[in-house]
Amino acid sequence: MAGLEDLYREIILDHYRTPRNRGELESPPAVESQGHNPLCGDEITLYLLVDGEGDDAVVSDVKIGGQGCSISQSSASMMTQAVIGNTVGEARAMIRRFRSMMGIEGIEAQPGDDEIDLGDLEALQGVVKFPVRIKCAVLGWSTLADALDRA
Amino acid sequence: MDVPSRDQELLVGLYGNGHEPVPEHRPISAVFPVVPAGVLGAEAVHRRRDLAAKRAHQEVEVVAHQGIRMNLDQATFDEVTCQVLEHVAIGVAAEDVLAISSPVHEVVESTGGVVTSWSSHTPIMTKGCHSRNRRDDLELSHQARQGVTVRVCATVVTLGDFSYGDRGNWTGRYNPHMAFDLDTVRKEFPILSREIGGKPLVYLDSGNTSQKPHRVIDAMTDFLENTYAPINRSSYRLAGEATEAYEGARRAVARLINAPSPDEVIFTKNATESTNLIARSWGIANLREGDPVVLTHMEHHANIVPWQMLREELGIEIRWVPLTADGQLDLTHLDQLLDGAKVFSFTAMSNVLGTLPPVAQLCAAAHDAGALAVVDACQYVPHNVTDVQAWGADLVAFSSHKMCGPSGIGMLWGRMELLDAMPPFLGGGNMIDTVTLDGYTTAPVPAKFEAGTPPITEAVGLRAAVEFLEDLGMDNIRQHEIDLTRYALDTLNDRFGDDITIYGPTDTAVRGGVLSFAFRDLHPHDVSQILDERNVCVRAGHHCAKPLMQVLGVQSTTRASFYLYNGTDDVDALADALDSATDIFGL
Q: Is the Cβ–Cβ distance between A118 and A94 less than 8 Å?
A: yes
Q: Which residues of A touch B530 (CB under 8 A)?
A: 4
Mean pLDDT (whole number) for B525-551:
92
More confident residue, B224 or B125: B224
Other CB atoms within a 10 A radius of the CB of residue B454 amount to 21
Which member of A3, A39, A67 has the closest CB to residue B555? A67
pLDDT at B554 over 60: yes
| CA-based nearest residue to B521, from B496, B538, B504 | B496
Mean pLDDT (whole number) for B48-70:
30
- Read off the pLDDT of residues B186-220 as tens digits, 9 standing for 90 and up: 988 999 999 998 999 999 999 999 999 998 999 99
Contact A40 B533 (CB under 8 A): no
pTM (2 decimals)?
0.76
- Read off the pLDDT of residues B355-408 as tens digits, 9 standing for 90 and up: 999 999 999 999 999 999 999 999 999 999 999 999 999 999 999 999 999 999
Mean pLDDT (whole number) for B264-281:
98
More confident residue, B14 or B181: B181
Helix B456-472 vs helix B237-256: angle between axes, to the nearest 10 degrees?
40
- Read off the pLDDT of residues A38-73 as tens digits, 9 standing for 90 and up: 777 788 999 999 988 888 889 999 999 988 888 899
Domains in chain B, CATH or no CATH each: 6-176 (no CATH), 202-208+474-585 (3.90.1150.10), 222-470 (3.40.640.10)
Contact with chain B for residue A117, Cβ under 8 A: no
pLDDT at B174 over 80: no
More confident residue, B21 or B297: B297
Contact A69 B524 (CB under 8 A): yes
Residue in B closest to A13 by C-alpha: B585
- The confidence score (pLDDT) of residue A66 equals 86
- The confidence score (pLDDT) of residue A16 equals 86
Q: Report the distance separating Cα B403 and Cα B380, nearest Å.
A: 10
Q: Which residues of B touch A43 (CB under 8 A)?
A: 555
Contact with chain B for residue A69, Cβ under 8 A: yes
Beta carbon pairs, A and B, within 8 Å: 48
Which member of B526, B556, B584 has the closest CB to residue A41? B556
Q: Closest approach of chain A CAs to the CA of B351, in angstroms?
A: 15
Contact with chain A for residue B421, Cβ under 8 A: no
Q: Which of B195, B556, B559 to mutate to test the interface with A (most CBs of A within 10 A)?
A: B556
- The confidence score (pLDDT) of residue A125 equals 84
Q: How does DSSP assign B102-145, residue by residue? A: SS-SEEEEETTS-EEEEE-SSPBP-TT--B--TT-EEEESS---
Mean pLDDT (whole number) for B497-507:
94
Q: Closest approach of chain A CAs to the CA of B240, in angstroms?
A: 43
Residues of B acting as catalytic residues: 544
pLDDT at B289 over 90: yes
Which member of B526, B549, B584 has the closest CB to residue A69? B526
Contact with chain A for residue B542, Cβ under 8 A: yes
Q: Is the Cβ–Cβ distance between B519 and B527 less than 8 Å?
A: yes
Residue in B closest to A68 by C-alpha: B523
Indicate the Cα dihedral angle B207, B212, B216, B222, nearest 10°. Answer: 140
Contact with chain A for residue B198, Cβ under 8 A: no
Q: Closest approach of chain A CAs to the CA of B502, in angstroms?
A: 19
Residue in B closest to A134 by C-alpha: B525
Contact with chain A for residue B584, Cβ under 8 A: yes
Which member of B523, B549, B586 has the closest CB to residue A69? B523
Domains in chain A, CATH or no CATH each: 4-150 (3.90.1010.10)
- Read off the pLDDT of residues B88-111 as tens digits, 9 standing for 90 and up: 223 334 444 444 444 444 455 555
ipTM topping 0.85? no
Q: Report the distance separating Cα B100 and Cα B299, nearest Å.
A: 47
Q: Is the Cβ–Cβ distance between B377 and B355 less than 8 Å?
A: no
More confident residue, A74 or B118: A74
- Read off the pLDDT of residues B315-366 as tens digits, 9 standing for 90 and up: 999 999 999 999 999 999 999 999 999 999 999 999 999 999 999 999 999 9
